[in-house]
């Protein structure tokens, strides 16, 4: 298939460029060729490239900065995917989009299913939810994959920050009362390949919303501890409550995603976060 992908240089875009390359004709669009804040340029790019499928791997992902740039976050996370979805629907092209565990307020104590009530508390989560809703309303053949705590060996993320801080050899205090599932961008990429394969095979029963996160649960401190253990870093690490690490944007205290629908409909099971972390660190 000829696949148009918005965003190659981010974590997910990097994974998709590797995982889809052999089997498909890929076209990537990045800045400066396209600025997703300029909504009215999106449709002409889609028409010009004549794709069989469009994937949006781009997003405004600066969770704290979004609190002071709500209009830009809304443009990139909601208005741009809305336009992509409308154009895809008009052109009868399926559309794959990504969202986040931050659409939840974190007050649950059991994994969120796709049907669970959403209630984002920060600007980033609100704009991502607006994007989900606009995509679902505009494009009949859409797939939205919600993921959580995304990291990889490329681009900026929690894993890279921890490895950098470990080099300082100073005591490190990391939040231990937020629980979720760290997700290796390459595993989210593999889940996306399963969606692409299903679309290519002509299945019409796969459209809609899915959760796609590595399985298992930990805290940010537990994630850091495992990173240092596998990587062989000796770090004086201690856990602290969220109240001792205030951030501009609130984070859900619990954002574990149930991925049963992905397994049941697409026959794709997400590996455990511990296994994923080992594979990621092996690529550094
Ligand atoms: N990171 C996480 O922890 C996390 C968690 C849950 C869900 N998600 C979701 O997962 C998806 C992938 O996230 P990611 O971590 O791979 O993102 P990322 O590494 O931050 O990459 C974001 C991508 O969006 C592009 N982009 C941003 N602003 C743009 C603009 N104005 N015009 C064109 N391109 C623009 C970036 O390109 P430039 O670098 O050129 O700006 C980059 O390619 C997103 O939908 C995100 O919301 C992420």
- Residue 30 CB–ligand 1 contact under 6 Å: yes
Question: Quick check: pTM over 0.85?
Answer: yes
C-alpha of residue 234 to centroid of ligand 1, in Å: 32
Give 233's contacts (C-beta < 8 A, 6+ positions apart). 163, 166, 227
CB 104 less than 6 A from any atom of ligand 1: no
151 noted as active-site residue: no
- In this structure, the number of other CB atoms found within 10 A of the CB of residue 2 comes to 12
Q: 2-157+182-216+256-272 in CATH: which number?
A: 3.40.50.720
DSSP 154-203: SSS-HHHHHHHHHHHT--EEEE-S-EE--EEHHHHHHHHHHHHHHHHTT-
pLDDT for 9 equals: 95
Q: Provide the pLDDT for residue 65.
A: 98
Give yes or no for residue 58 CB within 6 A of ligand 1.
Answer: yes
| Dist CA 248 CA 62 (whole Å) | 11
Domain residue ranges of the chain, discontinuous segments joined by +? 2-157+182-216+256-272
* Sites in the chain below the pLDDT cut of 70: none
Ligand 1 geometric centre to CA of 66 (Å):
13
Give me Rg for the CA atoms of the chain: 18
Decide the pairing of beta strands 218-219 and 179-180: antiparallel
């Amino acid at each position: 298939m000829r696949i148009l992908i918005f965003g190659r240089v981010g974590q997910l875009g990097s994974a998709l460029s590797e995982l889809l390359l052999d089997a498909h004709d890929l076209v990537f669009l990045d800045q400066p060729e396209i600025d997703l804040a300029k909504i009215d340029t999106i449709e002409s790019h889609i028409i010009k490239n004549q794709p069989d499928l469009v994937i949006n791997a781009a997003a405004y992902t600066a969770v704290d900065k979004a609190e002071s740039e709500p209009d830009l976050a809304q443009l990139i996370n909601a208005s741009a995917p809305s336009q992509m979805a409308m154009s895809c629907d008009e052109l009868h092209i399926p559309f794959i989009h990504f969202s986040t565990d931050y659409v939840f307020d974190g007050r649950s104590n059991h994994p969120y299913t796709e049907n669970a009530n959403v209630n984002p508390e920060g600007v980033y989560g609100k704009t991502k939810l607006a994007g989900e809703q606009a995509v679902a309303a505009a494009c009949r053949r859409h797939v939205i994959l919600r993921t959580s705590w995304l990291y990889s060996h490329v681009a900026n993320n929690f894993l890279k920050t921890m490895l950098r801080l470990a080099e300082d050899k100073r005591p490190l205090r990391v939040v231990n009362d937020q629980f979720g599932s760290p997700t290796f961008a390459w595993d989210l990429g593999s889940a996306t390949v399963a969606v692409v394969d299903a679309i290519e095979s002509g299945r019409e029963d796969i459209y809609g919303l899915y959760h796609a996160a590595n399985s298992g649960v930990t805290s940010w401190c537990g994630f850091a501890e495992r990173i240092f253990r596998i990587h062989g870093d000796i770090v004086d690490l201690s856990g602290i409550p969220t109240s001792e690490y205030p951030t501009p944007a609130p984070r859900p205290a619990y954002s574990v995603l149930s991925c049963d629908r992905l397994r049941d409909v697409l026959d794709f099971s997400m590996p455990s976060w511990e296994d994923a972390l080992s594979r990621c660190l092996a690529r550094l």
